[in-house]
Structure 1
């Protein structure tokens, strides 16, 4: 079910809210296409008999983070057609964005750290493909700025295509959340997201982050 950030107090928190809607939308799209890949434990429900049938959190209970998503993968491996996303404004759970960059990065490193425990090769391949796309996009942008100006058309075309696809994807999500105003931040997010994805893909898989006052290795 949907989770949305509320009570944004800064430009940074507005960007987070838009990016978080993107993540929620990806989870909903995966479930809708019978390929569940991600969810959010802040708004998640499952039947008790299925929980026990899957062995609960056995095999993932030693992890500091990711039990919600990894349990989803366990259920999806057996019941991919029995998982649904509750698309209802009445079902929205609201939570707060991180107030500063340090808190945000720690949160996202924690979220990314669970990817090392994915067993679904399709999800792993998709994640790696997205990461490499952003690496190439970042390298082409840096090269166009520094030494290879002939790459400008390639970079401009790629970043424009990225923006267009993200706009098409995010528009119905923002409309659903009644936050179409957030789309004004998409040009900034489209560019910043490239650097963020490359960094978090590396840092998240190193498995080190701060959470609830303790350091997790």
Structure 2
């Protein structure tokens, strides 16, 4: 058991020092001072009038000379339609796409995103959600198409807004590790996912690969499955400058958060095999590490001392890396709670994985 515990430590150290440390040390480029090409921002909304009233103005008042905001109203009945009609009169850079109830197609976010992309005027598409707000009016400056024409995908970062609750701390911590993983692996030349709250890609890339046709039957995955299928080390870049961050409203109930994670779990099953392996190994090693540490506590005092030393070494190594990343990714307040949240997140993900495997299968995006 001590040998397995030590092996798990070595794998943890590999991810920390040879994958995640790269993100901690990467230099952050300054936001460009000028715009190069026009942009279409895509936002899908279903009964989001409260969030649209709060956050849409920030999208429409970006420091960018030529861009449009395409808002897809997906069968809303909460007054969204009337609200967007008023905004069309007020702003000349908003375009509204209305989706009606129709039995001829399978409704869902992927259909809404596809309709938004079809309506977009420009080739460079930047995506966010109705409950999101940019950290700066220079957001689009940083998410614009890079000078290198080979770049077809840009992966941004979207932290959650802080609230005073254990659930909120856990959500933000889990989002932090998810971001550290996908951004770090993208830096290593192995991009495997992005988040639809803040990412960009070419319209031509979308249609060249027939959009979401390969996974239209999965409720989620309009962001991560598309990136997983089409991103590579040559066509993908990341953005973590503070101006490029997009803040998002977190779930405020455990039920809502579990439902969200269930959608994500379903999409992960369709990742490429190599990506499923590296992610599964990471989770399995974390699981075995804590299980075998607990088991060692029931054996001899010598075994307890060695196991405690291995646990302490793991915490020390990771405390040199992840608090720095927490600060870089706008979660400085979580630095002091890192060891505790790490254990709580492990317990939650284990429980959530069990429910995802044996719970009800049908999940809707809204």
Which bracket does the TM-score occupy, shorter chain normalised? 0.7 to 0.9
Partner of 2:276: 124
What displacement does 1:97 show?
2.4
Matches for 1:1-217 after TM superposition, within 5 Å: 1-76=156-231, 79-118=232-271, 120-144=272-296, 147-148=298-299, 150=301, 151-206=303-358, 208=360
Q: Is residue 323–residue 338 contact of structure 2 (8 Å, CA) maintained in 1?
A: no
Tell me which moved more, 40-49 or 173-182: 173-182
> What TM-score, normalized by structure 1, do the two folds share?
0.82
In structure 2, relative to structure 1, the CA distance for the partners of 1:52 and 1:165 (3 Å cut) is farther
Higher-Rg member (1/2): 2
**SS of match in other structure, 1:110:** helix
Structure of greater relative contact order (alpha carbons < 8 Å, 6+ residues apart): 1
- Looking at structure 1, the residues matched to 196 and 284 of structure 2 have their Cα atoms a distance apart, in angstroms, of 28
Unaligned runs of 5+ in 2: 1-155
What is the root-mean-square deviation of aligned Cα atoms in Å?
2.6
Query: C-alpha distance in 2, partners of 1:98/1:110?
Result: 14
The CA deviation at 1:154 is: 5.0
- The count of corresponding residues between Structure 1 and Structure 2 is 210
TM-score normalised to the size of structure 2? 0.51
- Change in Cα spacing, 1:22 to 1:135, as seen in structure 2 (3 Å) is closer
CA displacement, residues 6-41 of structure 1 (integer Å, 9 cap, x when unaligned): 131223312322331221121111111110122111
Q: Secondary structure at the match of 1:94?
A: strand
Q: CA deviation at 1:169?
A: 3.7
Q: Which has the higher strand share?
A: 2
Shift of 1:131: 2.7
Alignment partners' CA distance in 1, 2:160 and 2:328: 13
Residue 21 of structure 1 contacts residue 170 of structure 1 at CA under 8 Å; is this kept in 2? no
Kept after mapping to 1: 8 A contact 2:160/2:248: yes
User: Structure 1: where are the runs of 5+ without partners?
Assistant: none
Q: 1:205 to 1:174 in 2, by over 3 A?
A: same
Report the Cα offset of residue 149 of structure 1. 5.3
- Aligned structure 1 segments of 4 or more residues deviating by more than 6 angstroms: none
Q: Which structure carries more helix by proportion?
A: 1
